């Protein structure tokens, strides 16, 4: 049986972690466990005046790697340092990372940014049958797309699906038996965790280059309609479409853009897994992302535009005739406060919330009008 990472929640085996002499054992509350000053989120269990915690909780808090061999019933805990872990991660993920290169379409060949009329980027294999995910901006202007695998072999690719709003695209090569990436869970994207970017920066000869940093921030909205991950791992032109991975070798995001200006360093951004999964689900079912239309134009308040916290909602500045907004009775000047109970204060908040819905769905919109709040029921188109 393949060795799998031991997962908290389905774990049966526990190890004796620490003795507590000052614990009130008659209490029904679990004791709090601290490792190097940081409290573990995992619950502890008291048995015969001893405190037990899940093996993974303590071990990973100390920087160890925990693996479970279900066939042999063995838990393996290894205290590897980052210098040993990172090469293993890069080695395991690289076969799932590809270079993407192609000629520009005739209508964009006059763009002086591309002197050789050839552009390149990166992609990740998501299915063994040759399906590859990359950025929309990498392939949208390519006339002939070529994918180069980590072994150096090249294959012509076809563009299957594209969604410029999320900057994601699906391409496919005629090759089977490939190694797909593994995606992390959204809750595992935590500020401060190590992040590794793998891609094809600057030159196509630099395929599968790796850079390391941390997850610097989450829920960023710089230059995107949806939330992004911020990282200080080096991301350069050509890294677009490549993976940002954690120390488990799981993809937490797709590298998409960066701030590039004098005096600015370590400001890269990646599309997180929740958006990736949302888009791939639509690609699988519909060959495109289907979004419901409300038919209203919004404006953020000043605080939201400069990035300050705000709870002032979105002002409605335009309503299309015969749209869902028009039919439901929304008016210019209304302030959208929430959708189905979810607070909406920025355009990104609105776009993220609308991921949950499809045309024909009915939503309850809470608005402010003339100083009073009102709920309007709206059927999306």
pLDDT reported for residue 306: 86
CA atoms within 13 A on the CB side of 223: 13
Tokens, residue 321: 């005739």
Q: Residue 137 pLDDT > 80, yes or no?
A: yes
Which of 229, 124, 250, 247 minimizes the C-alpha distance to 185?
250
pLDDT reported for residue 118: 84
Domain span at residue 100?
92-173
Look at residues 144, 173, 202 and tell me which one is the last residue of a structural domain: 173
Number of folded domains that form the chain: 4
- Residue 53 CA: distances (Å) to CA of 9, 18, 28, 100, 312: 12, 9, 16, 46, 44
Any residues with CB less than 8 A from the CB of 195 and at least 6 apart, and which? 212, 213, 214, 215, 231, 233, 244, 245, 246, 252
**Average pLDDT for 153-177:** 97
Same domain membership, residue 191 and residue 169: no
Which of 183, 201, 210 minimizes the C-alpha distance to 88?
210
- The mean pLDDT value of the chain amounts to 85
Q: Residue 361 pLDDT > 70, yes or no?
A: yes
Any residues with CB less than 8 A from the CB of 302 and at least 6 apart, and which? none
**Average pLDDT for 113-142:** 89
Same domain membership, residue 188 and residue 160: no
Q: How far apart are the first and last CA of the chain?
A: 49
Which of 88, 59, 63, 89 minimizes the C-alpha distance to 75?
59
Look at residues 266, 286, 306 and tell me which one is the last residue of a structural domain: 286
Any residues with CB less than 8 A from the CB of 118 and at least 6 apart, and which? 101, 102, 103, 104
Contact 11/56 with Cβ under 8 angstroms?
yes
Same domain membership, residue 236 and residue 206: yes
Q: Residue 22 pLDDT > 50, yes or no?
A: no
Same domain membership, residue 151 and residue 195: no
Same domain membership, residue 312 and residue 221: no
Same domain membership, residue 259 and residue 197: yes
In angstroms, the CA 107 to CA 227 distance is 32
In angstroms, the CA 378 to CA 202 distance is 48
Q: Residue 27 pLDDT > 70, yes or no?
A: no
Least confident of 19-33, 174-188, 230-244, 354-368: 19-33
DSSP 3: -
Least confident of 169-178, 181-190, 195-204, 216-225: 216-225
Contact 282/288 with Cβ under 8 angstroms?
yes
- pLDDT tens profile 74-87: 888 766 566 778 99
Is residue 246 domain-resident? Answer: yes
Is residue 23 domain-resident? Answer: yes
Look at residues 237, 254, 286 and tell me which one is the last residue of a structural domain: 286
Most confident of 19-23, 45-49, 214-218: 214-218
Same domain membership, residue 99 and residue 138: yes
Any residues with CB less than 8 A from the CB of 102 and at least 6 apart, and which? 118, 119, 120, 139, 142, 143, 144, 145, 146
Active-site annotation, residues: 137, 167, 240
Tell me, what CATH number does 334's domain have?
Answer: 2.30.42.10
- pLDDT tens profile 219-271: 888 878 999 999 999 999 899 999 999 999 999 999 998 766 566 677 799 99
Tell me, what CATH number does 146's domain have?
Answer: 2.40.10.10
Which of 240, 221, 243, 242 minimizes the C-alpha distance to 230?
221
pLDDT reported for residue 79: 62
Same domain membership, residue 213 and residue 262: yes
Is residue 178 domain-resident? Answer: no
Ramachandran angles phi, psi of 253, nearest 5°:
-170, 170
Same domain membership, residue 266 and residue 191: yes
Contacts by 153-161, CB closer than 8 A, 24 or more apart:
155/130, 157/100, 157/132, 160/131, 160/283, 160/287, 161/283, 161/287, 161/288
Same domain membership, residue 62 and residue 41: yes
Q: Residue 17 pLDDT > 50, yes or no?
A: no
Most confident of 38-42, 61-65, 154-158, 265-269: 154-158
Work out whether strand 38-39 and strand 45-47 pair parallel, antiparallel, or are unpaired.
unpaired
In angstroms, the CA 158 to CA 135 distance is 14
In angstroms, the CA 182 to CA 164 distance is 24
Q: Residue 206 pLDDT > 60, yes or no?
A: yes
pTM of model > 0.85: no
Is residue 258 domain-resident? Answer: yes
In angstroms, the CA 156 to CA 139 distance is 13
pLDDT reported for residue 379: 96
Same domain membership, residue 192 and residue 149: no
Q: Please, is 120 exposed, middle or buried when counting C-beta atoms within 10 Å of its C-beta (0-12, 13-18, 19+)?
A: buried
Is residue 291 domain-resident? Answer: no
Same domain membership, residue 168 and residue 123: yes
Is residue 336 domain-resident? Answer: yes
Is residue 84 domain-resident? Answer: no
Is residue 87 domain-resident? Answer: no
Work out whether strand 296-299 and strand 65-69 pair parallel, antiparallel, or are unpaired.
unpaired
């Amino acid at each position: 049986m393949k060795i799998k990472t031991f997962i908290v929640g389905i774990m049966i085996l526990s190890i004796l972690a620490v003795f507590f002499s000052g614990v009130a054992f008659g209490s029904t509350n679990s004791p709090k466990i601290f490792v190097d000053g940081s409290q573990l989120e995992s619950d502890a269990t008291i048995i015969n005046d001893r405190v037990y915690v899940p093996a993974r909780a303590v071990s990973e808090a100390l920087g160890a790697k925990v693996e479970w061999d279900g066939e042999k019933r063995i838990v393996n805990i290894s205290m590897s340092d980052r210098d040993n872990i990172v090469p293993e991660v890069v080695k395991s993920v690289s076969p799932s990372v590809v270079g993407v290169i192609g000629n520009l379409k005739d209508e964009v060949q006059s763009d002086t940014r591309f002197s050789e009329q050839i552009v390149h980027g990166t992609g990740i294999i998501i299915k063994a049958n040759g399906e590859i995910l990359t950025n929309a901006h990498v392939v949208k202007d390519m006339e002939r797309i070529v994918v180069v695998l980590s072994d150096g072999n090249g294959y012509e690719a076809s563009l299957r699906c594209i969604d410029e709003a999320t900057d994601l695209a699906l391409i496919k090569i005629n090759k089977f038996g490939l190694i797909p990436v593994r995606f992390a869970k959204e809750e595992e994207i935590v500020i401060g965790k190590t992040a590794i970017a793998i891609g094809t920066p600057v030159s196509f000869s630099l395929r599968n280059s790796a850079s390391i940093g941390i997850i610097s921030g989450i829920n960023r909205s710089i230059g995107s309609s949806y939330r992004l991950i911020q990282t200080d791992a080096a991301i350069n032109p050509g890294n677009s479409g490549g993976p940002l991975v954690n120390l488990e070798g799981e993809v937490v995001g797709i590298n998409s853009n960066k701030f590039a200006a004098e005096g600015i360093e370590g400001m890269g951004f990646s599309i997180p897994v929740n958006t990736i999964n949302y888009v791939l689900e639509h690609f699988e079912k519909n060959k495109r992302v289907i979004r419901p239309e409300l038919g209203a134009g919004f404006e953020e308040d000043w605080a939201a535009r400069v990035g300050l916290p705000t709870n002032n909602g979105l002002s409605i500045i335009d309503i299309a005739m015969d749209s869902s907004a028009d039919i439901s009775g929304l008016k210019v000047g209304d302030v959208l406060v929430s959708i189905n109970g979810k607070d909406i204060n920025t355009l990104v908040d609105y776009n993220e919330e609308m991921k949950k819905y499809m045309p024909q769905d009915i939503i309850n919109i809470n608005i402010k009008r003339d100083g009073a709040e009102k709920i309007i029921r709206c059927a999306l188109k």
